[in-house]
Amino acid sequence: MYQALYRKYRPSDFDSVVGQDSIIKTLKNSIINHNFSHAYMFFGPRGTGKTTVSKIFARNINCLNPVDGIACQKCDHCKDSFSRDCVDIIEIDAASNNGVDEIRELKNKISLVPSSLTYKVYIIDEVHMLSIGAFNALLKTLEEPPEHAVFILATTDPQKVPETIVSRCQCFSFKRISSDVIVERLKNVCKFEKIKIEDEVIQNIALFSEGGLRDALGMLDKLTSYTDSKITMDDFNEVNGTISNEQIHDFLLAVFNKNVSEVLNQISLFDQNGKNLLQILTQILNYCRNLLVNYYLKRSKCDFSIDSLHEFTNLLNEKMFDIRKSSNTRIYMEMFVLNYIHNSNVIESSETVDIKENEKVIKKKIEPVKEEEKTVIEEVKSTEETSENDDEEFDFDKEYSDESDDFSPNLNQIVISSEPRVLNMDEIMKVRINNTLAKADKKILGVENSNFEKLKDFTFDQEIGYLVCSLLDSKVRVASENSIIISFEYDSVVKQNLLHLDKLEDVYHKITNSYKKFAIVTDEEWEKIKNEYIDHLKNKISYEIMEEPEVVLEEIDNNDIIPSSAMDLFGDIVEVE
């Protein structure tokens, strides 16, 4: 039976592992010095060697005669550990065994001594998929396991693992494998497998794998199935739905030449030929980036205007988030390019007017000055310089007292946003809480909890990262078909989030496609609401749906924009003495 390349070339010892030198060195030294821990956590991107290193480490600590921290592969323990029938190295998939019962069963069996090896090793893969109950069941065992037990937890998402679990483990962060290492590994595999392939294809596989060696080998495997002859860039582009650098160059040329019909025709051809438009936009972004880097570092010649290239690359990079979430990538791509061309035309038209005006000024300045006018001009110039200096000093003070961010403010100088405040926010929140509890649904709650996990991919987004982080700081309590109750620890945080409630809801809808209204309370308030809800259920009292009141906005007096006190500005986080 054919064996996939990533399985066939999976490392069997530490020396075969690539790209994780510091981790391998640490683990080898711990075996040499006999001071390895009872619990480890390996985390990092997919395909970087977490599970592979876990298995190698499990075999090496059981070897009777390790050489420099590496299993000898000759002793009885090595023969048993390399056997598929080994019962002392247990690999558990937490994605499919994530309940409390499975962990309790593990706890019951862990006290049994190993059947043939020195240590019984439990490798729990994708540990972040365990439920909260399962984590709690594992906690005590992980803290004080039997002397013969070693735990290795592997995950791609350590943020989802409770801190109480992480603190009991020795943690290792697996980094993305560099493109050079992946290229070298792929060349060796191609040599052993006698695969004919162009060097450019190997470079592109390394780039598209994004630091995952398993993904790179999987992509190579797919290409070998596609063609029996030498693998070319045409084969790579056809299999992956990408385009060549020449096509990218022609597309950019049409964009910068403002050839609208050519641009739209090329996008249409890409779509008709089954190309992945999102992948093409990523290619274009990388291509532009490489042009700019080569221009500045190597002074390479560029066929396009550097200013235009800068502008286009920045705009495309900023819009990639929206493009990924767009329901129709083709329309978004077309509108993005047309908008860029239109704005460029507007800027050029404006610059043309400015140039003509500047030419008039320059011509006027270079006209010859009569001798009798020189003295008068010099006196006027002297007077203007004095006046300009005085005005400059006055403008500086005015500017930096009102608008600038480059000074150290005090409380009396802080300018508060003049956006109107919602006066009946408390009433709106009470109605939303009531309606959410009236239609509470556990299935919807599970869906929204999953949606909140999606937010973690956008915590570093320049535009919405602060809103996403605000949502991730909350606890999801109850959900219905129209609304969600979330809570925060501090009242000041609740008040701050209520100020931009609309933005929070809009970002949540954009990322998750789940349009829900938020009801925001403190953790303390939630406990009261929950207890009241339980009492209602016991007494068979149902919640009636209420109509949400219309928003009542505060009337802003533009002359009164300074807060009356620090408490108005910062809430209850300020201690007033």
The C-alpha R_g of the chain, in whole angstroms, comes to: 32
Q: Which one of 3.40.50.300, 3.40.30.10, 3.20.20.150, 3.30.70.100 gives the CATH number of domain 5-173?
A: 3.40.50.300
Choose between 562 and 501: higher pLDDT.
501
Rounded to 5 degrees, φ, ψ at 565 are -155, 165
Q: Residue 213 above 50 pLDDT?
A: yes
Rounded to 5 degrees, φ, ψ at 362 are -60, -45
Q: Residue 416 above 80 pLDDT?
A: no
- Tokens of residue 397, six digits: 């003070």
Q: How confident is the model at residue 433 (pLDDT cuts 50, 70, 90)?
A: very high
**pLDDT attached to residue 412:** 37
**Beta-carbon contacts of residue 225 (< 8 Å; ≥ 6 apart):** none
Q: Residue 308 above 70 pLDDT?
A: yes
Burial readout 339-367 (b: 16 or more C-beta within 10 A, e: otherwise): ebbeebeeeeeeeeeeeeeeeeeeeeeee
Could you please report the per-residue DSSP string of 196-248?
A: -B-HHHHHHHHHHTTT-HHHHHHHHHHHHHH-SS-B-HHHHHHHHT---HHHH
Q: What is the DSSP letter of 544?
A: P
- Tokens of residue 240, six digits: 């992956």
Chain-centre distance of CA 137, in angstroms? 31
User: Which whole number is the average pLDDT over 372-400?
Assistant: 43
In the CATH scheme, what architecture does the domain 425-569 have?
Answer: 2-Layer Sandwich (3.30)
Q: How confident is the model at residue 521 (pLDDT cuts 50, 70, 90)?
A: very high
**pLDDT attached to residue 349:** 53
Rounded to 5 degrees, φ, ψ at 272 are -65, -30
**pLDDT attached to residue 302:** 84
- Tokens of residue 60, six digits: 């090496």
Q: The tokens 């550097």 sit on which residue?
A: 306
**pLDDT attached to residue 386:** 43
Pairing label, strands 39-43, 89-93: unpaired
pLDDT in tens, 505-520: 888 888 888 888 999 9
Q: Residue 375 above 70 pLDDT?
A: no
Q: Residue 180 above 70 pLDDT?
A: yes
Q: CA 436, CA 484: separation in Å to the nearest integer?
A: 7
How many CA atoms lie less than 13 Å away from 119 in the CB half-sphere? 25
Percent with pLDDT over 70 in the chain: 83
User: Which whole number is the average pLDDT over 12-18?
Assistant: 88
**pLDDT attached to residue 183:** 92
**pLDDT attached to residue 413:** 35
Q: Which of 78-92, 148-162, 276-290, 340-354 has the lowest mean pLDDT?
A: 340-354
Q: Residue 411 above 70 pLDDT?
A: no
Q: CA 478, CA 444: separation in Å to the nearest integer?
A: 9
Q: CA 472, CA 474: separation in Å to the nearest integer?
A: 5
User: Which whole number is the average pLDDT over 12-36?
Assistant: 89
Q: What residues does each domain of the chain span?
A: 5-173, 179-240, 245-343, 372-401, 425-569
CB 198 within 8 A of CB 233: yes
Percent with pLDDT over 90 in the chain: 15
For the chain, give the mean pLDDT.
Answer: 80
**pLDDT attached to residue 543:** 87
Model's pTM, two decimal places? 0.57
Residues listed for the chain = 577
Q: Residue 380 above 80 pLDDT?
A: no
Q: How confident is the model at residue 172 (pLDDT cuts 50, 70, 90)?
A: very high
**pLDDT attached to residue 401:** 39
Q: Residue 103 above 60 pLDDT?
A: yes
* Distance in angstroms between the alpha carbons of the first and the last residue of the chain: 78
Edge-first strand order for the sheet with 149-155 is: 89-93, 120-125, 149-155, 39-43, 170-173
**pLDDT attached to residue 522:** 92
**pLDDT attached to residue 274:** 85
Q: What is the largest CA-CA distance in the chain?
A: 112
Choose between 292 and 375: higher pLDDT.
292
Q: Residue 218 above 60 pLDDT?
A: yes
Q: Residue 33 above 80 pLDDT?
A: yes
Among candidates 391, 425, 383, which has minimal Cα distance to 520?
425
Q: What is the DSSP letter of 159?
A: G
Q: Residue 398 above 60 pLDDT?
A: no
**pLDDT attached to residue 182:** 92
Pairing label, strands 149-155, 475-479: unpaired
**pLDDT attached to residue 13:** 87
Q: The tokens 């998750």 sit on which residue?
A: 512
**pLDDT attached to residue 64:** 87
In the CATH scheme, what architecture does the domain 245-343 have?
Answer: Up-down Bundle (1.20)
Rounded to 5 degrees, φ, ψ at 559 are -85, -10
CATH 1.10.8.60 matches 179-240: yes
Q: The tokens 């009241």 sit on which residue?
A: 532
User: Which whole number is the average pLDDT over 59-64?
Assistant: 89
